[in-house]
C-alpha cells in the first residue's frame, strides 16, 4: 500500500512540476539574468525582459527550459515523494506546522540531488545572450562532463543547492499547509475550491523565495562560473556572498527577487493545483 501511495505521489509530482516549468520559465529567465548579468548590462527586470525579446526573440525567455522540463519528472517526483515519506517518518498522525516545516526541509535536502544538475544546466543556458557562440544544451552537458567530470561539472553547486533547498522547502510547505488548512476549516477538507488551492500554492511559492533568495543568487553565480569553486562549501559560499555584497551592496543579494516573487504566484499555484488534482484523481482510481 505504501509503495502504491509513493507511486501516486511520483506521478502527481511529475504533472505538477511540468505545469510549474511551462508557466514560470519566462520570469525564471529574467530572474537568473538579473542575478548573473555583468553590472550595468541591464537597468532592471523590465529592461531584461524587453532586451531579451528585442534582441533574441520571445522564445529566448524559454531558454534553458529543456533542462528543467526533461528533469522535472524526476525532480518534482522526488520532491513530493520525499515530502510524503518525510511526513510518515516524523509521525503517523496529522503534523503540526513546525513538523510540516521539518518534513519540507528533509524533502528539500533530498530533492537537491536532482535539482542541482537540472539548475546548473538551466543557468548556463540562460547565461547566454543570443551570440553566435551560444551553445546548445547537449554541447554544454558534454563539455561540463568531459572537462570537469561529475562532481565538479554536472553537480557543480550541489552543496549550495542543499543549503538553499532546506529553508526554501521548509517555508514552502509550511506556508502552503497553513493556507490550505485555513481554507479546509471554511470549506471542508474534501471541498476546497480550485482557486483556494491556487492561492495556497502561491503563498507557498512566495515563502519559498523569501526563505532562500540570497543563497539562490550564490548558487546561480557558482554554477555559471568557468571554473568550479575551491575550498569547503562553507568557505566558497561565504566567499561568494562577500563578493556579491562587495559588487552591489546588500541589495545585490536580492537582485532578481521581484521577478522571482511574480513568477512564484502562477508557477507555485499551478504546481500545487496540478499536483492536488492529479493526486485526488489517483486516490479515487487506486483507492490509496
Residue among 149, 59, 46, 167 nearest 106 (CA): 167
Q: Looking at residues 74-95, what average pLDDT do you find? A: 87
**Rounded Cα gap, residues 80 and 86, in angstroms:** 10
pLDDT at 124: 94
The neighbour count for residue 195, using CB atoms within 10 Å, is: 11
Residue among 159, 120, 158, 155 nearest 140 (CA): 120
If you search the block for the grid coordinates 532578481, which residue do you land on?
256
Q: Looking at residues 179-203, what average pLDDT do you find? A: 90
Where in the chain are the domains? 2-286
Domain 2-286 has CATH 3.30.2350.10: no
Which tens digits make up the pLDDT trace of 98-149? 999 999 999 999 999 999 998 999 999 999 988 888 999 899 999 999 999 9
DSSP state of 156: T
Which tens digits make up the pLDDT trace of 248-262? 999 999 999 999 888
pLDDT at 283: 82
Amino acid at each position: 500500500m505504501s509503495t502504491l501511495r509513493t507511486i501516486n505521489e511520483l506521478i502527481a509530482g511529475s504533472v505538477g512540476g511540468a505545469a510549474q516549468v511551462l508557466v514560470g520559465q519566462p520570469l525564471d529567465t529574467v530572474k537568473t539574468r538579473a542575478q548573473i548579468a555583468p553590472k550595468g548590462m541591464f537597468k532592471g527586470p523590465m529592461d531584461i525582459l524587453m532586451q531579451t525579446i528585442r534582441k533574441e526573440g520571445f522564445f529566448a525567455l524559454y531558454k534553458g527550459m529543456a533542462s528543467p522540463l526533461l528533469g522535472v519528472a524526476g525532480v518534482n517526483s522526488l520532491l513530493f515523494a520525499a515530502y510524503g515519506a518525510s511526513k510518515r517518518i516524523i509521525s503517523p498522525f496529522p503534523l503540526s506546522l513546525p513538523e510540516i516545516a521539518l518534513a519540507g526541509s528533509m524533502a528539500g535536502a533530498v530533492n537537491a540531488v536532482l535539482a542541482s544538475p537540472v539548475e546548473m544546466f538551466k543557468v548556463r543556458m540562460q547565461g547566454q545572450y543570443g551570440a553566435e557562440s551560444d551553445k546548445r544544451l547537449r554541447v554544454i552537458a558534454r563539455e561540463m562532463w568531459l572537462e570537469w567530470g561529475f562532481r565538479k561539472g554536472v553537480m557543480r553547486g550541489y552543496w549550495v543547492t542543499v543549503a538553499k533547498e532546506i529553508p526554501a522547502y521548509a517555508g514552502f510547505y509550511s506556508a502552503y499547509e497553513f493556507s490550505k488548512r485555513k481554507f479546509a476549516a471554511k470549506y471542508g477538507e474534501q471541498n476546497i475550491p480550485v482557486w483556494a488551492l491556487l492561492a495556497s500554492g502561491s503563498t507557498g511559492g512566495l515563502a519559498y523565495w523569501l526563505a532562500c533568495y540570497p543563497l539562490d543568487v550564490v548558487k546561480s553565480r557558482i554554477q555559471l562560473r568557468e571554473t568550479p569553486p575551491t575550498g569547503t562549501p562553507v568557505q566558497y559560499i561565504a566567499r561568494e556572498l562577500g563578493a556579491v555584497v562587495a559588487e552591489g551592496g546588500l541589495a545585490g543579494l536580492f537582485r532578481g527577487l521581484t521577478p522571482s516573487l511574480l513568477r512564484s504566484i502562477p508557477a507555485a499555484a499551478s504546481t500545487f493545483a496540478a499536483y492536488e488534482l492529479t493526486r485526488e484523481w489517483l486516490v479515487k482510481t487506486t483507492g490509496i
